[in-house]
Amino acid sequence: MDEPLFEHVLREQHRAEAPLARRVAPKSLDDIIGQEHILGPGQPLRRAIESDRFTSLILYGPPGTGKTALARVIARRTKGAFSPLNVVTSGVADLRRLIAEADRRRLEDGRRTIVFIDEIHRFNRAQQDALLPDVENGRIILIGATTENPFFSVNAPLLSRSLIFEFRRLEEDDLVRLLERALAHPDRGLPDLTVTAEPEALRHIARCAEGDARRALTILELCLLTGEPREGQLTLTPELAAACSQRKLLHYDGTGDAHYDMASAFIKSMRGSHPDAALYWMARMLEAGETPRFIARRICIAAAEDVGNADPQALVIATAAFQACEWIGMPEARIILAQAATYVACAPKSNAAYLGIGRAQQAVREAPAVSVPGHLQDTAYSGAKRLGRGEGYLYPHDYPGGYIPQDYGVARGAFYQPTDYGYERIFRERLAELARQDRDSARENQETRPPSTAEGTTPDGADSSHG
């Protein structure tokens, strides 16, 4: 009798001492704030949970958006056994033991086993592979939660056996509702204290949490613990909220979705000629600890891919910025990066060179190979002239304007097609003039060529097909 009582008291003590985010955690689907796109009335996932008939699930999204909270709600609702598994301390042997228990449970009372794995992306390939056969044959139902994109971090066979639901970051209004509910919650703590909150204080906490409910509740708890009550009254002011939050939380893991999404937004802002957006996304990356080298590389790529010859100076500035950042480092490197990023964003745009190399590579891969014309072949070795290499080559600098029409093996305009933007307009006009000279030269050669005889024969009718 003493042992169960002691365990009950210990559980109550742990519950009272748990963080605020845990004490006010949702107990039903209606308590979960946000995620209406998957948990709203009539949504398939909600119906499956309410009927206790669902398959394996992968819950994917930023931290503090309700993935673990939903798993706990499922644990309260399901008639099956709910078995959480710790990714840090568990190995394949633990998985085998858990599956054996699931088999025994199914035989004894017919109950199924739901295995919840938080941060499933931390499981290595062998551990994930160990789950496959038992998920496939229904011995266990898997609920995995991850902040990483599962299409990169979870084995494809395991993904194909699970339904994937993406959780979205909570909006500011969602977090304010969450904070208001927490202040009115019976397990809020400090029962002898009357707490009121100025609206702007809750707004400040919500802004600093950046869509993370757990972060918002942690800041609120710090406000409750460190605020100075007067006569049993505590007012949460914007000043108290600012003191407890210190600095906005920036979700950025350096390798996952946030890293690539912000890099993509940065590049697309430069491509879209929006210097303000480019500076914002660059600042987000820098504030979150991204390396200047990573950003400088993206600026160099954008300068060549998206500006190209519309402003050849863009790549020069981007390359100089890359080198300067290597020498100088942060925090001053941000100034250099800002100059290069805004230059690329403001420059005229052309992707003609980028498209040109793509067309040329496609031709190399798919079309018949073009032989190097004899007059373009290398002559810088002994015996080249005896083999006829380079014979007939016309040195352009020997002619007016530094140009003379001749065959280079590829037709003009086949790959590089300059635009009318920026400096590339000059290229376009020059290339058009050279093409005109090529046509004139071809016409003159046609007019001065002696009358042709039947193809494949000499004037006397002898066969010349073999020279």
In angstroms, the CA 3 to CA 365 distance is: 76
- Contact (Cβ atoms closer than 8 angstroms) between residue 338 and residue 282: yes
Q: Which of 267, 351, 277 is nearest to 307 (CA)?
A: 351
Q: Which domains does the chain have, with CATH numbers?
A: 35-166 (3.40.50.300), 172-245 (1.10.8.60), 257-346 (1.20.272.10), 373-445 (no CATH)
Q: Which of 159, 244, 160, 133 is nearest to 197 (CA)?
A: 244
The pair phi, psi for residue 118, each rounded to 5°, is -80, 145
Residue 115 has pLDDT above 50, yes or no: yes
Residue pLDDT, tens place only, 70-111: 988 988 888 878 888 877 777 778 788 888 888 888 888 878
Residue in the block written with tokens 């054996």: 100
Give the pLDDT score at 450.
62
| Summary mean pLDDT of the chain | 83
In angstroms, the CA 146 to CA 4 distance is: 35
Angle ∠(255,257,260) on CA atoms, nearest 5: 70
- Contact (Cβ atoms closer than 8 angstroms) between residue 234 and residue 201: no
Band of residue 345 on the pLDDT scale cut at 50, 70, 90: very high
Residue pLDDT, tens place only, 399-430: 888 888 888 888 888 899 998 989 889 999 98
Give the pLDDT score at 446.
77
DSSP character string of 275-337: HHHHHHHHHHHHHTT--HHHHHHHHHHHIIIIIGGGSTHHHHHHHHHHHHHHHH-TTTHHHHH
Residue 267 has pLDDT above 90, yes or no: yes
Query: Which has the minimum average pLDDT: 21-35, 74-88, 198-212, 321-335?
Result: 74-88
Reading the block at residue 425, the tokens are 């307009």
In angstroms, the CA 73 to CA 194 distance is: 30
Q: In percent, how much of the chain has pLDDT > 90?
A: 26
Task: Please tell me which residue, 190 or 113, carries the higher pLDDT value.
Answer: 113
Residue pLDDT, tens place only, 10-64: 455 555 567 888 888 888 898 899 899 999 898 989 998 888 888 889 999 888 8
Q: Which of 413, 467, 463, 464 is nearest to 438 (CA)?
A: 413
Band of residue 149 on the pLDDT scale cut at 50, 70, 90: confident
401 backbone φψ class: left, alpha, beta (φ>0; ψ -120 to 50): left
- SS3 (DSSP) at 149: coil
